[in-house]
Amino acid sequence: MTTFTHPMILFTLLALCQVWSVNGGMQWPQPYRRYSSRPTANSFCKAQFPFCPTGSEGGKIPVMEDSDQIQIFALKAPVWEWRFGDLMGKLHIYHDAIGIKNLRTGLNYTTEWYELFQLFNCSFPHEVKFQDEPLWCNQGAACVYDGIDDNHWRSNGTITLVTTVTGHQFNQLADWIHHDNDTGLYYETFQVDDSDSLTPQVWFYSYDCSSYILRFFDALHTLGATFRTDVQLNYTRMRLYSDEPQLLGNQTEIFGANGSHGQPDTASKLMKFYANFTPMAASLTFAEHLLKIFEYVVLEEEFFLYYNDQYWYLPMKTPFAKITYEPIPLPGNGTLSL
């Protein structure tokens, strides 16, 4: 993907939409780290299903005529709907995407952001023989492709018109899509809060398919889009609950490099923790993976999170973990949480 160097609106949006707090010199919630370039993934990382198989070469986004009218749709369907039907929908575990329709040409497009190597490869690392540290396969990226699969989105999910913009606005948004994709590289599965109250202290926000949709809507709003006021959209969150997280260090600080010894005790604890989870285990279903996580945090009252290339210790507290499916207003209709 091409990296755009002209000013982008994303960081302004984040500053406006987030309320940050500083406790003991630590900034909460932790700002999601942005990068200047995308590294090549380790050859060990394999996708069970190929990423963006019908996407445009080089991530090319269609160029609209300035006067075109472009309808924007929120698309929702249960995770792995093509395989399990509405099973994940019953648990309120949904995948989100954006549908785009040019009213002049009649052509449709879809864009979504998701993990390159499937969800649990992003949530937990791998133990690799003859390697002392865990290996992460946690990149995510945007995909843009022709068409909207009506059957997929409508059979167990929804297609909802949220706004109509001009071709000029959409072309400006295309720059944002490239920039967001080129700088936001890593999938973050979990949102971590201090409680399940209506206004919790958020320690970490997830960075997943639904947060891409929220950023997309916010960017459109900044470009002048007006959203429907009669639409309510809910989003899935995998939430963990803990007291204030403790920073342990990055991979090199903990596991050592170039002859340094790192932190052997912490390294041992992390490897023991991650041994409880097997990202590529074909014998385990999505739901079984979730049950293993919930069982562990309830029994052990601890969790280790990898966020911004750093390891964090989470002192877990009741209710420990939840899957929530809650409304977040469209821009201009309330406070938007990224």
DSSP sequence for 170-199: HHHHHHHHHHHHHH--B-B-EEEES-SSSS
Per-residue pLDDT of 165-198, as tens digits, reads 999 999 999 999 999 999 999 999 999 999 999 9
- The pLDDT-based confidence of 83 (bands split at 50, 70, 90) is confident
For position 276, what pLDDT does the model report?
Answer: 84
List, in sequence order, the alpha helices (H) in 96-147.
119-123
For position 327, what pLDDT does the model report?
Answer: 96
Distance, in Å, from the CA atom of 154 to the CA atom of 244, rounded to the nearest integer, reads: 41
DSSP of 30-74? PPPP--SSPPPPPTT---SS-SSTTBPGGG--PPPPTT-EEEEEE
For position 23, what pLDDT does the model report?
Answer: 60
Is residue 122 part of the annotated active site? The answer reads: no
Entry pTM: 0.88
pLDDT exceeds cutoff 90 at 214 = yes
Is residue 178 part of the annotated active site? The answer reads: no
Of the two residues 299 and 328, the one the predictor is more confident about is: 328
Q: Which of 16-20, 105-109, 246-250, 274-278 has the lowest average pLDDT?
A: 16-20
Angle at 26 (CA atoms; ends 23, 29), nearest 5 degrees: 90
Between the alpha carbon of residue 15 and those of residues 18, 20, 149, 224, 337, the distances in Å are: 6, 9, 35, 18, 12
Q: Mean of the per-residue pLDDT values for the chain?
A: 87
Which one of 122, 178, 209, 289 is the catalytic residue?
209
Per-residue pLDDT of 228-267, as tens digits, reads 999 999 999 999 999 999 999 999 999 987 657 789 999 9
Cα 85 versus chain centre, distance: 22
| Residues 217, 199 contacting (CB under 8 angstroms) | no
For position 334, what pLDDT does the model report?
Answer: 58
| Residues 31, 184 contacting (CB under 8 angstroms) | no
Report the share of the chain in percent with pLDDT over 70: 86
- The pLDDT-based confidence of 328 (bands split at 50, 70, 90) is very high
CB atoms near residue 298 (< 10 Å): 13
